[in-house]
A and B are shown apart, each in its own frame.
Chain A
Amino acid sequence: MLELFELGFLHLTWGSILMLLIGVVLLYLGIAKKMEPLLLVPIGFGVILVNLPLGGLMECIVNGNVVEAYALGGEPAGLISRIFRYGLAWEIIPCFIFLGLGAMTDFGPLLANPKTLILGAGAQFGVYFAFFIALLLGFSINEACSIGIIGGADGPTTIYLTNRLAPYFIGSTAVAAYTYMALVPIIQPPVIKLLTTKAERAIYMKPQLRAVSKREKLIFPIMAAVIIILLVPKSAPLIGMFMFGNLLKESGVTDRLADTAANAFMNILTILLGISVGCFMSAEVFLKVESLLVFALGCVAFASSTAFGVCLAKLMNVFSKEKINPMIGAAGVSAVPMAARVVQKMGQEANPRNFLLMHAMGPNIAGVIGTATAAGIFLGMVG
């Protein structure tokens, strides 16, 4: 009887102990530091669960044998490996999260000042910059795409693209994207300060944005879906769901659906996504030089997206009469609303009259569209 009952203790490795510590750190950041708690708590706990030996949460059957770590070609047999396969690998969860995001997004600030759409696109240069750096470092083109997209600081898009192009990296790119989203207030300010003078940061922008009519808000998701998907067909799953969610919100007749998409449904998906990504990070999958390098390159991608956004805003100022505060370019990464909040705070520090929040929300929302479109372009190129 006793021989059959195996204790997990005996199977702990240095790798799994290190991963348990990483799990605890993620929980600490989420709970004590309140950094992206809705994601870091499920991810952190998932990391802990999967690194307790013999639990079998990520079990897969490969050629008739049960393996404990998730196997890409195997048949999932554990609680979370099934969710991972049919939710993430089948690309259902990240796309439906975009439905929820759409139902939560107000395109008003973007429509009030459509120029900001350019800034949201500009920050995507960082994605391509990191893509080329990754290529130079010897990553394959598929892997480089997945690394570059981290620069958009958009979790669902990163997961969607990585799953398509380099599924074995999904743990590192997902955790990198979500970690950098949480670290926006730490990574962005030094980059912004490096590229702007105090006088530029103090540039005053009138707070009042143009009032946007209900009709504009209703037409936008329909028109945007048609135009973007015609331009970049492979962006259809993400952009299509994003605009569908927004249409539910703006149609005025589907409030019940919009409410479910933005709240209950979104929460369910977040739970499933968080715990599955966390459980993907077992020691044998995550503790590899490549995975750690991916994590580090993600930071380069994110910092360069911020830098490109700021530079593009400065360039726009050269040509336009009414000066914009170049910091709002940094909000072109799609970490909504964290990036806009950073810009708002720094704007007020430089000039107490400034209130850039709504101005920064425009590029910020445009950034979400931009990153999802960039993912579509990558998929069109190599997918």
Chain B
Amino acid sequence: MAQEKVEFPITGKVISVNVKQGDTVNEGDILCLLESMKMENPILAPVGGTVSEIGISAGQVVEVGEAVALIEY
């Protein structure tokens, strides 16, 4: 099974995590909301599949390149 690691494209603070481990997502679904540059930015699923790993929680400050989730498809 192929995997894709989703990374944060920008530094910011996680406002909400919208999926949990084991969830099925479609391409373009919102994985989490990130507050950055005074804006709410949704981080989207690049592929449809199953969320096999998600290690972030609301309120966490994240850097560019940190993992959002791992999606298996």
Contact = CB atoms under 8 A, between A and B. Distances in A.
Interface residues of B, number: 15
A341 B39 contact: yes
A355 B9 contact: yes
A207 B44 contact: no
B62 interface: no
Given A208-B64, A208-B65, A358-B10, A348 B37 contact: no
Given A207-B9, A208-B64, A357 B37 contact: yes
Contacts of B27: 352
Interface string B19-52: 0000000011000000011110110111000000
Interface string A193-216: 000000000000001100000000
A344 interface: yes
A195 to B, nearest CB: 23
Best-buried of A208, A337, A352, A358 by chain B (most CB within 10 Å): A352
A341 B10 CA distance: 14
A93 to B, nearest CB: 24
A355 B10 contact: yes
Interface in A328-350: 337, 341, 344, 348
Interface size class of A (residues with CB under 8 A): 10 to 19
A341 B37 CA distance: 10
B41 A357 contact: yes
B10 A348 contact: no
A353 interface: yes
B46 A357 contact: no
B7 to A, nearest CB: 8
Contacts of B39: 337, 341, 357
A357 B10 contact: yes
Contact of A352 (B38, B41, B44): B44
Contacts of B28: 352
Interface string B47-73: 000000000000000001100000000
B64 A353 contact: no
Nearest to A361: B37
A344 B45 contact: no
A348 B27 CA distance: 11
Best-buried of B9, B27, B39, B41 by chain A (most CB within 10 Å): B9
Contacts of B45: 352
Contact of A348 (B36, B44, B64, B65): B44
Contacts of B37: 337, 357, 361
Given A208-B64, A348-B42, 20 more contacts: A208-B9, A208-B65, A337-B37, A337-B38, A341-B39, A344-B41, A352-B28, A352-B44, A352-B45, A353-B44, A353-B46, A355-B9, A355-B10, A355-B41, A357-B10, A357-B36, A357-B39, A357-B41, A358-B9, A361-B37
10 contacts: A207-B9, A207-B10, A337-B38, A341-B39, A344-B41, A348-B42, A352-B46, A355-B9, A357-B39, A361-B37
In the A-B complex, list the 5 residue pairs whose CB atoms are closest, starting with the nearest: A207-B9, A355-B9, A352-B44, A353-B46, A352-B28
